[in-house]
Structure 1
């Protein structure tokens, strides 16, 4: 598989979506000789699917690729079958995952990425759905039917936009406390917190952790001290987790 799982779409100073990871994205799409990029913008709620697709096209304008939005396809399943690369936008994870299930796209995307070697790039919600379930998303479940199983490209749960912080005067649970609650209920699983400006890169059998701002990855397991992982580290061991 070839995956780039970004925590978010932009960091401070960026003018284009995915700009902070653009060198890695360019390398991947060039190496795989990608010509046909399909953007899945279903997670976008407070905006236009066309606008989000156009944002991705602008970021990739330096490459000789054709960028189309899956929402415009007459046959979305066939569009996935014809794709050389799939890019999944951030937004609301619940809406994104439910839409993929409703349109019968989970299987075709899995086949494209895991069997045909189609490149997969996601940010925020687009990264969260690469886990076995979306139960560690930060998003509100704004749809009436809660569907949690997702693509399962990686065996661990992902928490995007991870922040190790407390807010003065805030009496609700911290991000760490929410993750701890998940692990108490799901004691054999791991949660990977990827902060802003960082991503997981899978190439074949190898996975590395990368960051544009030197922020570390956080690996949470029940009753174990969290593991802090520096950018540039080989984290292939995460792909062997039995979750």
Structure 2
């Protein structure tokens, strides 16, 4: 038996990267999985690889109508909803004086408004059944990162959002936590290397050397933390943010 037998997990932004790695781990441990992504065809393709009961659903997490339709479809097609992982994200990096209002609004809309709308839609089911798990994806960038005023603000905002939902929903059997990844080897960080005109492997090597464990992280590292926080083993943990960063933030307090 798996830890998540009989559970339905929704992971946003899960067609690739950390989200897909997390979806794979939930599937391996028995969950029915909904991969929610802006790109429905990519979501469907990724869902088809899981080897379990899974669906791929197109959704703009910053749009209330789209979110409500996606959650309704999950419940209809998979028979319920027990776990929500708010992982959808985008970057629009730039120094403050170059950052556009569109850059700011897009990042806030996907990360913060997206987590708000998805959590609001999911909690209706969680409260009724008096059971639910929400895990939000923050970042070490929440502590500040040059050229990421929008992203850093959104990711720290998610930590406050996590604590508040934990206070509001705890009495209804709902745990709410967050993970804050450090450098994870994904397409997104590869794009950062390209933007900096650096070789991907060299960028990863230097990033790994900068933390105590001397390696970069991988999607499965985050998936392990997310699935623990979404499991009944973590039922006495709520309102917390777990940094999964190879120790990179130790010196930052």
Fold conserved (TM > 0.5)?
no
TM-score in terms of structure 1 length: 0.41
- Structure holding more helix per residue: 2
Higher relative contact order (CA 8 A, sep 6+): 1
TM-score normalised by structure 2 residue count: 0.40
